[in-house]
Structure 1
Amino acid sequence: MDHRSFLAGLTAAQRAELTATSDRKGLAALAAHFGLIAFLGTAIALEVPGWPVLMVPQGILIMFLFTTLHETIHRTAFRSPWINDLVARICGFLILVPADWFRYFHFAHHRHTQDPQNDPELAGEKPKSLWQYIVHISGLPTWWGELKTLFKNASGRCDDAFVPEGGRRKVRHEAVVSLMLYAVLAGVSLVTASSLLLFAWVLPCLLGQPFLRLYLLAEHGRCPFVANMLENSRTTYTNRVVRRLAWNMPYHAEHHSYPTVPFHKLPDLHRLTREHLGVTSDGYGAFHKDYVGSFKNLPDIRSASRQLVREFGFLDKTIAGTDLSGSGVHAIMEIGLHPGVTAKDLATRLKLEKSTISRLLKSLEIRGDIIQTRSEQDGRVFGLSLTNTGWKTFAEIDTFGDRQARAALSNIRNGSARSIADALTAYADALAGSEGTEDKPLHRFEVVEGYQTGMIGDIAALHARTHGAIIGNGPTFESVVSQAMAEFMQRVGNPLNNSWSILDKGEVIGSISIDGEDLNGNVAHLRWFILSGKLRGLGLGKTLLLKALEHCDGQGFEEIHLWTLKGLDAARTLYERNGFTLADEYVGDQWGKSVTEQMFIRKRR
């Protein structure tokens, strides 16, 4: 789900509850945070036994005032605006991040999250090697960058695109005042020969910065470059101590989805968004283990990618056992899977220029593989579809790819098809996201054979939801479907029978079955052909039907019979296009309500 859709689904009462700020809760959190800093600072000043060790937790507490600064520049830490602004200036001063400048920086980050061209957080690349990672975590580049920003702003040379012209004077004044105060504090320390600030503030900050870097890298590191805030930001599941230290900012995808929600309401927002989160980590240790591990795996991934290109034959002029180029094969497959797709959409899917797609489509038309049809809704738009010749080409490509994949899987002994599919899908989606596309890449649904865990309940529920308007809601129809399927699944593995399902993260959202034992006289029974609404228009219904027909032809059935309900016009069109004819029509009541049923027959050609 896109974060915009999620927000649109919230009621006015939910919005009011989630965005309610509180001075009391903010002051309580602030008192706890600064109270610990004061306590450790006092212990360091008194040089209690082991006091140097205390500089580490002291530094962590001070540097994590960054999260306090973050919350206050959003003006959500407290109900009173003046408290937010005052605390923001204090926190920013303590960690060398001027509040006014950071507000401009951070709001640009929110407007352009994970947009490589405009997100200021992406101005510096994330570490791509172990050495870069170590340098990044050390915090040294951060300190250098913050000092440069302070002096540049103070000199009136601020050229950051996210700082508006009208705000440059304020940013300059802020930097000048900050540098003057730092100079005064340094001077007082030198004159009084006091090392208090050095050991209670400066050195702890140097020691605490790496912990903040470790924390911040997880917020967006390795997240896709997409516009959906539920996917371009990471929520990290961690313990209560870290959440309180960071003012609940580990709920980062939630924060980016709804920035006006105060820190103390983020757990409530998380409960609403949890099932929609696209990127999460089970702790910061797990995130960094994966992040560092990727440095070792990256060369292998790139090498495997190059080998895949070679093995699939993309370096040849023609591929997939056809006389078509790679772009031609992909065009045939996309048009077959998405009938009616426009040339513009096809160009987007194939990542081809307009002129290139025009030449490609012209060549496919000349071959007789495709046809362009004017849209009934908009005469200016032409949809693409396959001709009979094109469907034959589609079937050849599909068979070639299926055979190639099966042959490869048969050579793999230490891995499952499921794990390989998941890994390839994740990698493909990540590649699509890394190119800055704003929408989530088209989900790749998997078509599988045979029994799947939970499919009886999934398919029965699909039938009930889909046909309830015709048959009537109630337990009778769903119970009949469930019982019949349960009986069939006991023998689905018999040679004459088979079932094909479309999976979405383990859930069956489309299915078709052939029962070769239910009817006599060498007749196959096509059963439980159903698609979720999310699959409509993607051509997957035809994909399932073709697999069923191929099975029946392979088993030598003379006829295929199916029964359906009158009024399902899209399904009837699909049946008739694939050789079925209406053989009978009658009123039946086996589903608990009198409905008109139809019987279709396809005879072997």
Structure 2
Amino acid sequence: MSLQATQFTEAAGVDAAASAEGFLKTAEPRPHAIRRRAILAAHPQVKTLIGHDPLTFFITLGVVGMQIAIAAALGALGLGYWWAALLVAFCVGAFANHAMFVVIHDACHNAIFAKPMWNKWVGILADLPNAVPTAMGFRYYHIKHHSHLGDYDFDADLPSHWEAKIFGRTALGKAVWMFFFAPFQLARLGRLRGTVPMWGRWTFINAACVIAFDLAVLLLLGPNALLYLFASFWFSIGGLHPLGARWIQEHFTSDPSQETFDYYGPLNKVALNIGYHNEHHDFPDVPWRRLPELKRMAPEFYDGLKFHRSWTGLLLKFVFDPSYTLYTRVDRSAANRPSSPPAAARAGR
């Protein structure tokens, strides 16, 4: 492991023993802002990667059009071919909708166009094949995930204690949790501190657009078409689909000294480089197409970090390996409380 990579993993200061009773506790600050500053100091040219990528909009148009065409073909077959809708959704539609979810993700960071409003509209466009409005709610809570990574009270990406206790320790429980990942994630919002600002003008615009699209699909293309789109959404973020392992890959950790993991496998080609997760957290203002270049520009900061090569293998490992539970996540709530200064500060580092 390189010196730089070692610096940003060993500094995590995680209490591994805590996983038996709860999350892996740490009082250290988030490593990504620290690594960002170090990379910019060592490689100032990385700044050239920061910006916008309008090509993402045209990719979105193509994928949404493709999903409508597939839905129309399946709708023409009739609801008697529901099994074909599910099969095609698992094999094709999930990958298309997952790519659109990555577009929604980049739109959250205003990495497509310069104006935030234009990014919101691209996010809503990418949300249409999901059959469920997600873009604007995700926009708010994902930004909180970056600013409060691993803080139980603010990070919706961290499983709730009841999830971990009921589903998180057995193979069957973890399989059920993975299949119903979408509603489990939605249920976490009630535990987060503060008000819920997602219920604003853009949330209602998002909902109106998706519902109107759903009604048009149902009336013009038939129920089997809508079933295909909903199944594509379901499998794209969970549903015991290999793509669902992306949520395990990102912050579930088999090494308590490293809380964010990358995926460097072939599915990044159709998943719009979402596997470059350390790179993304370090530089959320770098569009998805430039993340591999970021890694190439600063290899000493990334080459020594542990990563995953297979989402399918990780999914199986997560479900059947008892060392993986829903508690194998870092909780840095203490680092964000004024009464608990980071361990590095206490040590005078």
Q: Does structure 1 residue 85 correspond to structure 2 residue 120?
A: yes
Match of 1:102 among 114, 138, 159: 138
1:175: how far off? 4.7
For 1:431-442, list aligned pairs within 5 A.
none
CA contact (8 A) 1:66 1:92 kept: yes
Q: Tell me, in whole angstroms, the C-alpha distance in 2 between the residues paired with 1:432 and 1:28.
A: 36
Aligned equivalent of 1:280: 307
1:212-257 deviations in Å (ceiling 9; x for gaps)? 422222111126677xxxx321101111xx2133221100011011
Structure with bigger strand share is 1
Match of 1:235 among 244, 259, 262: 262
CA contact (8 A) 2:49 2:290 kept: yes
In structure 2, the residue corresponding to 1:232 is in which secondary structure?
coil
Match of 1:291 among 308, 318, 326: 318
Q: Does structure 1 residue 161 correspond to structure 2 residue 196?
A: no
CA contact (8 A) 1:235 1:253 kept: yes
Match of 2:49 among 18, 23, 28: 18
Q: Does structure 1 residue 269 correspond to structure 2 residue 294?
A: yes
In 2 relative to 1, CA 110–201 (structure 1 residues): closer, same or farther, beyond 3 Å? same
In 2 relative to 1, CA 163–65 (structure 1 residues): closer, same or farther, beyond 3 Å? farther
In 2 relative to 1, CA 34–252 (structure 1 residues): closer, same or farther, beyond 3 Å? same
CA contact (8 A) 2:74 2:225 kept: no
User: Structure 1: which amino acid aligns with 2:110?
Assistant: R
Aligned equivalent of 1:69: 104
Match of 1:258 among 272, 278, 283: 283
Match of 2:178 among 137, 141, 163: 137
Aligned equivalent of 1:171: 199
Q: Identity percentage over the alignment?
A: 17
User: Structure 2: which amino acid aligns with 1:260?
Assistant: D
CA contact (8 A) 1:68 1:246 kept: no
Aligned equivalent of 1:198: 226
In 2 relative to 1, CA 79–51 (structure 1 residues): closer, same or farther, beyond 3 Å? farther
CA contact (8 A) 1:116 1:225 kept: no
1:100-136 deviations in Å (ceiling 9; x for gaps)? 3322211111112223454221143563321221112
Q: Tell me, in whole angstroms, the C-alpha distance in 2 between the residues paired with 1:128 and 1:142.
A: 19
CA contact (8 A) 2:109 2:285 kept: yes
Aligned equivalent of 2:338: none
Indicate the structure (1 or 2) with the bigger Cα radius of gyration. Answer: 1
My pick for the range that moved more, 46-55 or 2-11, is 46-55
In 2 relative to 1, CA 287–46 (structure 1 residues): closer, same or farther, beyond 3 Å? same
CA contact (8 A) 1:44 1:55 kept: no
Match of 1:222 among 250, 253, 256: 253
Q: Tell me, in whole angstroms, the C-alpha distance in 2 between the residues paired with 1:73 and 1:200.
A: 26
Match of 1:247 among 258, 267, 272: 272
Q: Tell me, in whole angstroms, the C-alpha distance in 1 between the residues paired with 2:56 and 2:209.
A: 27
Q: Tell me, in whole angstroms, the C-alpha distance in 2 between the residues paired with 1:183 and 1:292.
A: 34
Aligned equivalent of 1:55: 89
When the two structures are superposed, what TM-score results if normalisation uses the length of structure 1? 0.41
In 2 relative to 1, CA 276–28 (structure 1 residues): closer, same or farther, beyond 3 Å? same
User: Structure 2: which amino acid aligns with 1:161?
Assistant: R
CA contact (8 A) 1:115 1:225 kept: no
Match of 2:158 among 122, 135, 139: 122
Q: Does structure 1 residue 7 correspond to structure 2 residue 41?
A: no
CA contact (8 A) 2:256 2:330 kept: yes
1:178: how far off? 5.2
CA contact (8 A) 2:133 2:207 kept: no
- Which structure carries more relative contact order (alpha carbon 8 Å, separation 6+)? 2
Q: Tell me, in whole angstroms, the C-alpha distance in 2 between the residues paired with 1:238 and 1:177.
A: 36
Q: Tell me, in whole angstroms, the C-alpha distance in 1 between the residues paired with 2:209 and 2:116.
A: 24
RMSD over aligned Cα atoms: 4.0
User: Structure 2: which amino acid aligns with 1:114?
Assistant: G
In structure 1, the residue corresponding to 2:149 is in which secondary structure?
coil
In 2 relative to 1, CA 128–192 (structure 1 residues): closer, same or farther, beyond 3 Å? same
1:63: how far off? 4.1
Structure 2, unaligned runs of 5 or more: 1-6, 9-31, 336-341, 345-349
1:185: how far off? 5.9
In 2 relative to 1, CA 7–39 (structure 1 residues): closer, same or farther, beyond 3 Å? farther
When the two structures are superposed, what TM-score results if normalisation uses the length of structure 2? 0.67
1:281: how far off? 1.2
Q: Tell me, in whole angstroms, the C-alpha distance in 1 between the residues paired with 2:231 and 2:35.
A: 46
Aligned equivalent of 2:21: none
In structure 1, the residue corresponding to 2:233 is in which secondary structure?
helix
1:190: how far off? 7.1
In 2 relative to 1, CA 113–272 (structure 1 residues): closer, same or farther, beyond 3 Å? farther
CA contact (8 A) 1:43 1:51 kept: no
1:205: how far off? 2.9
In 2 relative to 1, CA 225–256 (structure 1 residues): closer, same or farther, beyond 3 Å? farther
